[in-house]
Amino acid sequence: MKSGILHKRYAQALYDIAVEQNQLERVHNDLKLINQVMDENHRELRLPMINPTIPPAKKRRIFRDIFGQHIHPVTLTYFDILFRKGREKEIPGIAAQFEEVYLEHHNQVKAQLTTAVPVDEATKQKIAALAGQKTTKTILIEEHTDPSIIGGFKIKIDDYLYDASIDTMLKRLRAKFKKNLYVREF
């Protein structure tokens, strides 16, 4: 089974359990916490989870020691099952995919907005309105700055990229000027 499909199935199962137990928001926050801690402590936490020489029972104990007091029992029980099934190395992928499932069920989508300098809230809303023409979902903007785009913006929603950056416009102009538009007629 491809890992993307595996992550989606496990994330969907956790989502269904959380809804059934009426703990969706709590489980969602738990997975954000787990993902954040694993990202910040890559060497100390994520690497042991993918190490095949460490037995699953020890990995489960490490996980319980770190997160046991901070996450809901529904989440903890679910991760116990993952450790029993030997899927501990898939935790980051499942946590990331859970966020996608959560947003999908709430009719929301994340959009990555890249600008040369930080923009004000009014400008973000105008750009979100522009991007909203391409989807019926509510857009949640994540802002990034990249001085190399010089000016303008890029917005990425799922697989759709709208590029209105000066850098891209200059690249297009360079490509046009490289072509020899003068054709001799005689």
Dist. CA 72–CA 50, nearest whole Å: 24
Mean pLDDT of the chain: 88
Which residues face 157 on adjacent strands?
Answer: 111, 160
pLDDT, tens digit, 9 for 90 and up, residues 5-27: 999 999 999 999 999 999 999 99
* Residue 5 burial by Cβ neighbours in a 10 Å radius (0-12, 13-18, 19+): exposed
pLDDT, tens digit, 9 for 90 and up, residues 54-91: 888 888 998 899 898 999 999 999 999 998 998 888 88
Which class does domain 108-178 fall in?
alpha beta
May I ask the CATH architecture of the domain 3-104? Orthogonal Bundle (1.10)
Every domain of the chain and the residues it spans: 3-104, 108-178
pLDDT, tens digit, 9 for 90 and up, residues 116-150: 999 999 988 888 888 888 788 888 899 999 999 99
- pLDDT exceeds 80 at position 33: yes
